[in-house]
Each structure stands twice: as structure tokens, then as C-alpha cells.
Amino acid sequence: MRTMRTMRTLLCLCLCVSAAWAQGNLDYDEYDTVREKGVVVNARGHRPVTRGGDTYTRQRYAPPPISGGGRYRGRPTPAPVGGQQQQEKEKQPEGGGCTHAAEEMGVLCPTGCELKTMLLKQERNSINELKPQVDDLARSSNTIYDYVNSISSSLRERQRVFTDNNRVVSQFTDSVEDQHDYIKKTVDTVFPSSIRVLQGVLDRIRVKIQKLEKAIQGQREECKEPCKTTCPIPVVSGKECEDIFRRGGKDSQMYFIQPDAFLPPYKVFCDQTTQNGGWVVLQNRLDGSVDFGRRWDEYRRGFGNTAFDVGKGHCETPGEHWLGNDRMSQLTKMGPTEVLIEMEDWTGAKVFAQYRQFTVMAETANYLLAVNGYSGNAGNCLLDGSSELFGENRTMTIHNSMMFSTYDRDNDNWIPGDPSKQCAREDGGGWWYNRCHSANPNGRYYIGGAYTRHMAKHGTDDGLVWMNWKGSWYSLKAMSMKIRPYIAPNPHA
């Protein structure tokens, strides 16, 4: 029994260690991986799911002791107490008279006193005679000294002026020599080189003028006869393709429409056969001939080839193009609008997704998308997201209520404002990205269908993807989006 308890304890310990190791090594990609009936689905490439915020522990740092010199010097040593006192000077008796300065020297004789008196008289007479002469000599010396000082100062000033003048002359000489060298170099090398360059430019301009004259002459020769268009546009026109259909334009081809009388008309391709016609083609992909990795302004205006002629005298085949977000917004805000999204794989199989409500807001709202009322057999990507995913992984692939994003205008939900987290940059085209997609009609065109993350530019599912039909790593052969005014069915019909 004791052995069984020990084995159970060891088994629990192993399970706890294994769980902790697995949790520590779980990366973002494993969050995105869903296993269903033994099938591994990874629909969003390397894009992570946020799993709460990380805590931040501030690092404690102990600074080293302060080093360097002190602010004070050593204290002074106090004077010793009770030391030797300075010996007082022995007072001497006053001099003069007939005695010595010190008593121990004895007494002078009288003749010494007389000699002292005589010497003092001679000293007073000599000093009185020499003092005026010394004063005159002092005054003369001071005058000569001042004169010499003034001459020295004047000499120093003249020397300074002379030195400054020499320096200025030297600088001026150096500057003149530099200017002379520059002028000589310019005249000898720069001017001839510039003249040769200008001569070459002039020769090229002359050649271009000759080519233009030749082209103009050729155009004049060709324009002698009336020009004939190879892709004529029918005379019938209207507000949109449904209006054209009601006016008699029953053929699917390129027409002029004018939704707003105050704005000029523009060309669209009208599908007048699918589901009784009346469809304006907003987007078309069929061969990869047009690059959809465009800027915001290009998606706003529209780009690509609306239609082309295949030899029947009119433009009956739609080309790869994007009608333009401004025109989509204008058409969908005129009234209730439905959208039809058709797609085809590389085996020829075709499916569709249809929404009876489809609106694109104005540019001030970043062309926000609003759809509702799904029907079809392709799967409801725009409203439900990817059916292969669950929870947060699924809701972040819903496109409804998303703003339009391009690689130079990031409006998706994948860390807004972070240039390294942009769906449009990684997925190849502009679209109503969330974080990031379940449908990518404007992605990169891959011939053959299946592709891998190693073939993708950023390792993500950037092809023509409709995940609810073919998954994220299958790029469709063709896809198109068409709209027309929604008309509720007559219940009495």
C-alpha cells in the first residue's frame, strides 16, 4: 500500500511538471491552432491572440558608493600648552652723554664726548649742503625715467601696429591667391565641363523634338480618315445598370452611368444576365493581370481595366478592376442595395454569397462596411467569420462593421497604429480587414490554387481567400462583386 501511494505521488508530480513545461513553451501560433476531428486548422498565419496583459516588475538597483575627493581638508593642530616662553629683550640704557650703552662697558673719557659732539656738527653741515643737490638729482632722474617710459610705450605701440598690418597684408594676400586659384580652376575646368553638359542636354532635347515632330506627322497621316473605335459604348445609359436594363440595355457589356446629375458619368460593366441582370460590377479578379496592392487614393478613385473586346466589336468581357470606394459609397447610399459575390476554383466549380443589404459609408467614415441578409452556398464570411475557428479566433475574422484599410492607411483591429501589425500590408490588398480576415478578394493572385506560408511574402494567407469554402491556404481562380438596387419580392406574384 505504501508503494502504491509513493507511485501515485510521483505520477502527480510528473503531470504537474509536464503541464508547467507545456504552458511555458506555448507560443502564439498554438493559440491560433484549432483541432477538430484530427484536422489542424491555422487560418491566420502568425497573428497572435491577446491573452491578457503581462505584469511588470521594476528592477531594483543599488547604486555604488560615491567616490572622489572630499569637500574639507584636515583640521589644524592646536598649539601646545605650557611651552617655552620667548625671552624678554634686555632693556638698554639710553645712549648719549659720556657713558656706554651698557653699564658693563664702563665710562667714556671726556675726549670721547668732545669727539662725538664734533662729528655730529660736521654731519649736520654736510647733510644740509648735499640735500638740495640730491633733491635736484632725484627730480631729474624722475623726468628722464618718465621720458624713457613714454618712448618705450610709443615704440611698443608702433611695433604692435606694424605686426597687425603685416598680418592683415598676409591674410589679404592669401585670400587673393585663393580667389585667383578658384577663378583659374573654374575657367579652366568647370566652365568647359558645364558647357559640354549643356551641349549634351541640348542635343537630347533636339532629338526629342525631332521624335515628337515625327510622331505628330504620323498622327496627322492617320487622322486624315475618321477614327473607328474597336470598343463602342452603347448609346443607352442610366443611373445604374438596373436603370439601363429597364431602358432596353439587355446585353452584358460596358455602359455609361450617371447616378448624380451634378457629377460626370463614368464607365462600368453591367451584368445583365445573372439573376435577371441589373448588376454593376464593383470588383473582378480573373487572371492576376492587375496588381491590387494599391494605396488609399487609388482604391478611392478606382483602378484596372473595366472591360475589353474579344473580337465581337463591343466590350463584353469584364477586366480586372476595382470600381472605386467613392463610387461604391455613392451607389449604395442611393437606396437599399444587394451584393452578389461570385467565385470559382481551379477545377471550374462555382459558388456564390449574396447579401440583400450592402452599404459602404463615405470617406469621412473610412468607407465602413455594413452587410446583412446572407444567402448562397459559399459560406457567410462577412457576417459570421471563419466557420473553422471558434471563440475570439472566429470573431476577429468578421468583416461586417469594419473600416476599409490599405497599406498606407491602417484602419484594421490588429493593434491600430503599429506599422508592423497591418493586415493590408501582409495580405496583399485593400479590404475591410478585422484582425485579419476570413475573406480576402483583393489578395495576391496564386496560379493553381493551393499555396503555402513559404510562398507567401509575409508567411500569411494572402491569396484570393474565401475561408468558408476552400480554407485559408487555397487561392481562388476568379472572384467578382456586383451590386444592384434591392427590390423586395412581391408576395402576391
Helix (H, G, I), strand (E, B) or coil at 120: helix
Instruction: Report the C-alpha gap between 126 and 431 in whole angstroms.
Output: 126
Burial degree of 489 (CB within 10 A; 0-12, 13-18, 19+): exposed
Would you say residue 381 has pLDDT above 90?
yes
What pLDDT does 112 receive? 62
Angle (CA) 245-251-256 rounded to 5° is 65
DSSP state of 187: I
What is the band of 58 on the pLDDT scale with cuts at 50, 70, 90? very low
Would you say residue 485 has pLDDT above 70?
yes
Please state the rounded mean pLDDT for residues 445-472: 92
What is the band of 27 on the pLDDT scale with cuts at 50, 70, 90? very low
**Grid cell at residue 365:** 467614415
What's the pLDDT tens digit per position in 385-400? 999 898 888 999 999 9
Phi, psi (rounded to 5 degrees) for 329: -65, -40
Instruction: Out of 159-173, 243-257, 327-341, pick the least confident.
Output: 159-173
What pLDDT does 420 receive? 81
How many residues are there in the chain? 493
Instruction: Report the C-alpha gap between 268 and 315 in whole angstroms.
Output: 11
What pLDDT does 166 receive? 84
Please state the rounded mean pLDDT for residues 311-320: 79
In which element (H, E) is residue 268 found?
strand 266-271
Provide the mean pLDDT of the chain: 79
The per-residue b/e assignment along 244-274, b for 16 or more CB within 10 angstroms, e otherwise, is bbeeebebbbbbbbebeeeeeeeebbbbbee
299's CB contacts (< 8 A; 6+ apart) are 322, 324, 325, 404, 406, 430
Kindly tell me the sign of the dihedral angle through the C-alpha atoms of 421, 426, 430, 434: negative
Please state the rounded mean pLDDT for residues 349-363: 96
Residue type (1 letter), 204: R
Please state the rounded mean pLDDT for residues 332-343: 95
Phi, psi (rounded to 5 degrees) for 360: -115, 120
What's the pLDDT tens digit per position in 95-124? 444 555 555 555 555 556 666 777 777 777
Residue 92 CB: number of other CB atoms within 10 A?
10
In Å, the largest CA–CA distance within the chain is 175
Percentage of the residues of the chain whose pLDDT score is greater than 90: 44
Please state the rounded mean pLDDT for residues 246-275: 93
User: Which whole-number Å values give the CA distances from 128 to 117, 121, 123, 131, 249, in the listed order?
Assistant: 17, 11, 9, 6, 147
What is the band of 404 on the pLDDT scale with cuts at 50, 70, 90? very high
What pLDDT does 297 receive? 96
**Grid cell at residue 8:** 501515485
Instruction: Out of 313-327, 337-351, 414-428, 471-485, pick the least confident.
Output: 414-428
DSSP letters, 297-343, are HHHHH-EE--EE-SSSSS--EE-SEE--HHHHHHHHTTS-EEEEEEE
Q: For 14, how many CA atoms within 13 A lie in the half-sphere containing its CB?
A: 6
Nearest to 271 by CA among 311, 299, 306, 322: 306
What pLDDT does 164 receive? 85
Nearest to 431 by CA among 460, 410, 456: 410
Instruction: Report the C-alpha gap between 459 and 275 in whole angstroms.
Output: 39
Would you say residue 46 has pLDDT above 50?
no
Instruction: Report the C-alpha gap between 149 and 89 in whole angstroms.
Output: 48
What's the pLDDT tens digit per position in 170-220? 888 888 888 888 888 888 888 888 888 888 899 999 999 998 988 888 888
Instruction: Report the C-alpha gap between 407 and 403 in whole angstroms.
Output: 13
**Selecting from 2.60.40.3880, 3.10.50.30, 3.90.215.10, 3.40.50.150, what CATH number does the domain 241-485 have?**
3.90.215.10
Percentage of the residues of the chain whose pLDDT score is greater than 70: 73
Structural domain spans, the chain: 123-224, 241-485
What's the pLDDT tens digit per position in 272-292? 999 999 999 999 999 999 999
Where does 375-447 have alpha helices with state H? 381-384, 392-395, 423-427
